[in-house]
């Protein structure tokens, strides 16, 4: 029996960051109002709502790090701060009209596909259950802070917290502060706190490539022109293409240029640090572009200060007075700040997601998350992802990728409304796509022995897209139902009734 069509599919979107908001606004523009956004925090914004540490800011120019249909004309600086981006997303949620569809401070703990009803049952932390025809995972890659395995972590008498869980009650004035990590949050936190602390020790196992940040406050001419919608759209387009042109830098065949650029920045590091020990502690041992290039005009200048020390090692244990590195060095601390990133390769975790045949998504992804176009994975009908596996970009803005995915998901919802039923990506199609992706990634710098969160522990690259944004836009422009298997409802078996005996023995 063919299930009846669903004129207005019920859609549940998990997450109200850039990804979830992109999907919500795309559905609403198409006239689809039967959607609910579930957000565990008290406001929209995702990573920009959660990360409010000192110095938090974006490393992509604001003109392209925003929704293309809601261009803000009055950014205070070329690179938006955390507070300004958070406020921008909140304002868009109001202006776009999607805010009434958002439920705040609700946490999803599980989602299970019902093979009889062809619906998703979503369970919240308080026990409430919701039903949906379509489930969209938009939890992002930077939503779960990660702490390294360290012995005796709780023995420290002082304070400690992750940068994504900043404790504003902890005063750093006159304190000995240890910052663990050398990534994006660390290069923003350390310059922001160094004037307050008595001493800052940076412990980084794998230092980042940090280059100059061309940041400024717009002058009167730029501010005036940005008030003209046509100029703002043109400015957005020009900057988008400027960053798109940088894609070839990730290809290994451009290693000659990469080598030249690395030499330039090593020389620059040496000039800024004025210290051989600090220089050795800051020079990456991997190729430039292997991980995201970080932007700062203050990082090396801050590390060069006498009240800042740099240790190239990792923390293995803690005691009452501080931390101990793997070479046995004791570093005393009143406060330890963990700038150790996020569990970025554990997409949709810790939500337990169960698909057809009782398949658990975590088990299916045991060897690393995979999805067709980063959006659909086999055995999970009518489940679509925003910012899913291998859809990150290190050369252009992620907001574009999220909008392309939102358009694809909107078309999928419209198809389900017309045809009814549920659709699971064909496994051969999925496997062919990921085999192609793996082959292409082998020709990029991402497979040259990169540290950090772009790969799983086994070395499988699961976060970044192998091609330019223009290619991804083309590949997700049209939802093609022919690459999906239509899932028919499983008939419930009636319990067998044993006949009763009416005779006599």
pLDDT tens string 360-381: 999 999 989 999 999 999 999 9
Q: What is the pLDDT of residue 3?
A: 45
What are phi and psi for residue 176, nearest 5 degrees? -90, 115
On whether the CB atoms of residues 303 and 270 are closer than 8 A, the answer is no
85 in a domain, yes or no? yes
Residue 401: domain span: 11-144+344-487
357 and 433 fall within a common domain: yes
Of the listed ranges 79-83, 428-432, 470-474, 501-505, the one predicted with least confidence? 501-505
Q: How confident is the model at residue 130 (pLDDT cuts 50, 70, 90)?
A: very high
pLDDT for 424:
98
Let me know whether 96 and 178 are in one domain. no
Whether residue 456 has pLDDT greater than 90: no
Residue 278 CB partners (closer than 8 Å, separation 6+) = 303, 304, 310
pTM of the model: 0.92
Instruction: Please report the pLDDT score of residue 452 as a whole number.
Output: 67
169 in the same domain as 117 = no
Residue at a domain's end among 303, 338, 373: 338
For residue 5, being part of any structural domain is answered with no
Q: Are strands 159-162 and 176-180 parallel, antiparallel or unpaired?
A: unpaired
CATH number at residue 170: 3.50.50.60
Q: Residue 416 domain-assigned?
A: yes
Our count of domains for the chain comes to: 2
Determine, yes or no, domain membership for 104: yes
The pLDDT-based confidence of 344 (bands split at 50, 70, 90) is low
Q: Where does a domain end: 320, 338, 356?
A: 338
Q: How confident is the model at residue 16 (pLDDT cuts 50, 70, 90)?
A: very high
Average pLDDT over residues 31-59: 95
Q: 158 and 306 share a domain?
A: yes
User: Could you give the percent of the chain with pLDDT greater than 90?
Assistant: 86
Residues 328 and 352 reside in one and the same domain: no
Q: What percent of the chain has pLDDT over 70?
A: 94
Q: What are phi and psi of 15, to 5 degrees?
A: 115, 135
Residue 280 shares a structural domain with residue 321: yes
Q: Does one domain contain both 334 and 348?
A: no
Answer yes or no: is 493 within a domain. Answer: no
> Which segment, 4-18, 68-82, 282-296, is predicted with the most confidence on average?
68-82
With tokens 């997700």, the residue in question is: 476
Look at residue 457 in the predicted model and tell me its pLDDT.
74
Residue with tokens 């292409």, as numbered in its chain:
440
Q: Can you give the pLDDT at residue 140?
A: 84
Say yes or no: 93 and 15 in one domain: yes
Whether the predicted pLDDT of 342 surpasses 90: no
Q: Is residue 90 situated within a structural domain? A: yes
Model confidence at 154, in pLDDT bands (50, 70, 90)? very high
Reported as a single tens digit per residue, the pLDDT across 158-167 is 999 999 999 9
Say yes or no to pLDDT of 497 above 80.
no
Q: Are residues 436 and 462 in the same domain?
A: yes
What distance in Å separates the CA atoms of residue 487 and residue 223, rounded to the nearest whole number?
53
pLDDT (0 to 100) of residue 346: 67
**In the prediction, which pLDDT does 363 show?**
94
Based on the fold, state whether residues 294 and 357 are members of the same structural domain. no
**What pLDDT was estimated at residue 291?**
85
Per residue in 400-455, pLDDT (tens digit) is: 999 999 999 999 999 999 999 999 999 999 999 999 999 999 999 999 888 766 77
Pair (387, 436) in one structural domain: yes
Identify the helix (H) or strand (E) that includes residue 181: none
Q: In angstroms, rounded to a whole number, what is the distance separating the alpha carbons of residues 166 and 148?
A: 17
Dist. CA 257–CA 260, nearest whole Å:
5
Q: Which of 55-59, 204-208, 332-336, 456-460 has the lowest mean pLDDT?
A: 456-460
What CA–CA distance (Å, rounded) separates 281 from 411? 50
Looking at the fold, whether 261 and 378 belong to one and the same domain comes out as: no
Please name which of 288, 307, 313 lies closest in space to residue 444, comparing C-alpha atoms: 288
């Amino acid at each position: 029996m063919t299930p009846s069509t669903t004129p207005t599919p019920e859609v549940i979107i998990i997450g109200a960051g850039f990804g979830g908001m992109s999907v919500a606004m795309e559905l609403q523009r198409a006239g689809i109002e039967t959607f609910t956004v579930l957000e565990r925090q008290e406001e929209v914004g995702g990573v920009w709502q959660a990360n409010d540490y000192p110095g938090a800011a974006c490393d992509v120019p604001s003109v392209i790090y925003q929704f293309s249909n809601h261009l803000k004309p009055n950014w205070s600086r070329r690179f938006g701060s955390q507070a300004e981006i958070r406020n921008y997303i909140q304002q868009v949620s109001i202006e776009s009209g999607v805010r009434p569809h958002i439920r705040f401070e609700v946490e999803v703990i599980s989602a299970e596909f019902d093979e009889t009803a062809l619906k998703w049952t979503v369970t919240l932390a308080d026990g409430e259950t919701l039903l949906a025809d379509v489930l969209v995972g938009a939890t992002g890659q930077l939503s779960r802070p990660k702490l390294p395995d360290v012995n005796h972590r709780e023995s420290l008498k002082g304070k400690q917290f992750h940068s994504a869980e900043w404790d504003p009650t902890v005063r750093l004035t006159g304190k000995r502060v240890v910052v663990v990590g050398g990534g994006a949050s660390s290069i923003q936190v350390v310059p922001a706190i160094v004037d307050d602390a008595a001493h800052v020790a940076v412990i980084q196992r794998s230092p980042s490539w940090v280059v100059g940040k061309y940041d400024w406050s717009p002058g009167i001419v730029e501010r005036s022109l940005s008030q003209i919608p046509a100029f703002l759209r043109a400015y957005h387009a020009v900057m988008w293409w400027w960053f798109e042109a940088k894609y070839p830098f990730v290809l290994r065949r451009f290693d000659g240029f990469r080598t030249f650029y690395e030499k330039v920045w090593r020389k620059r590091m040496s000039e800024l640090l004025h210290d051989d020990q600090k220089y050795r502690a800051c020079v990456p041992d991997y190729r430039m572009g292997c991980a995201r290039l970080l932007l700062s005009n203050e990082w090396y200048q801050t590390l060069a200060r006498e009240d800042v020390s740099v240790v190239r090692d990792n923390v293995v244990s803690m005691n009452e007075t501080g931390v101990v590195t793997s070479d046995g060095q004791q570093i005393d601390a009143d406060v330890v700040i963990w700038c150790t990133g996020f569990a970025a390769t554990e997409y949709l975790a810790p939500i337990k997601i169960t698909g057809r045949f009782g398949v658990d998504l975590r088990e299916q992804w045991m060897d690393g998350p995979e999805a067709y176009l980063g959006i659909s994975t086999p055995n999970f009908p009518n489940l679509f992802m925003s910012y899913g596996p291998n859809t990150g970009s290190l050369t252009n803005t992620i907001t574009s990728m999220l909008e392309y995915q939102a358009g694809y998901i909107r078309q999928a919802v419209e198809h389900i409304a017309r045809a009814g039923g549920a659709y699971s990506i064909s496994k051969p199609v999925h496997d062919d796509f990921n085999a192609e992706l793996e082959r292409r990634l082998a020709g990029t710098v991402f497979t040259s022995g990169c540290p950090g969160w772009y790969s799983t522990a086994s070395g499988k690259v699961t976060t970044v897209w192998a091609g330019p944004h223009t290619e991804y836009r083309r590949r997700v422009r049209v939802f093609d139902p022919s690459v999906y298997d239509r899932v028919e409802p499983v008939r419930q078996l009636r319990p067998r009734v044993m006949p009763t005996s009416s005779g006599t023995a």
